[in-house]
Amino acid sequence: MDDTNDFPIFKIFILSSQYLDGTISATKQLAKYLEESPAPTGFSDLAYTLAQHRSRLRWKAAVVASSVPELIHALQEHQHSQIVRSSQPPRVGFVFTGQGANWHAMGRELIDAYPVFRRSLRMAEKHLKNLGAEWSLMGTYTFCSLATPLLST
């Protein structure tokens, strides 16, 4: 618990595997690791790493806790019914720094070539606008035909 605040700060811990048994095993292994660590630190870092830097596979478990002891208890008590199987295969996302990591205008070419990519960006832009963003995710992009090559300016 944060000493500067009267309310616990909860974190979500996401574990996943290609198979149900693998997800069950991951919850048990994490609980065991945390129990055996003399003074586990990095509570927030662990939540961040599990949520942001791990593959999201078919079988998932999400555990919420505000402290290491609470996390250990939640992992040990985790019921199989709380582990869910995704109905869809994992989806791929693209992130562009704007610095031409592969080639100039690569993102614009994907927008033109893949309607699902364009729709995803438009949906994300709507959500960002609803959250108060004053800028456009699509920027000054305008749809162009793949028949005409995109030229750098």
Tally Cβ neighbours within 10 Å of residue 111: 21
Cα–Cα distances (Å) from 3 to 8, 39, 48, in that order, read: 9, 18, 21
90 neighbors 55 (Cβ within 8 angstroms): yes
- What average pLDDT does the segment 116-143 reach? 81
pTM to 2 decimal places = 0.52
Q: Where are the chain's structural domains?
A: 11-85, 92-153
pLDDT value for 89: 67
Q: pLDDT category, 141, cuts 50, 70, 90?
A: low
pLDDT value for 135: 85
Q: What are phi and psi of 14, to 5 degrees?
A: -110, 125
What is the topology classification, in CATH, of domain 11-85?
Answer: Alpha-Beta Plaits (3.30.70)
pLDDT value for 32: 92
Q: pLDDT category, 98, cuts 50, 70, 90?
A: low
Cα angle 10-19-21, degrees, rounded to a multiple of 5: 75
Q: Which residues contact 8 (CB under 8 A, 6 or more apart)?
A: 1, 2, 66, 67
Of the candidate ranges 38-42, 60-64, 119-123, the one whose mean pLDDT is the lowest: 38-42
Q: What are phi and psi of 63, to 5 degrees?
A: -120, 135
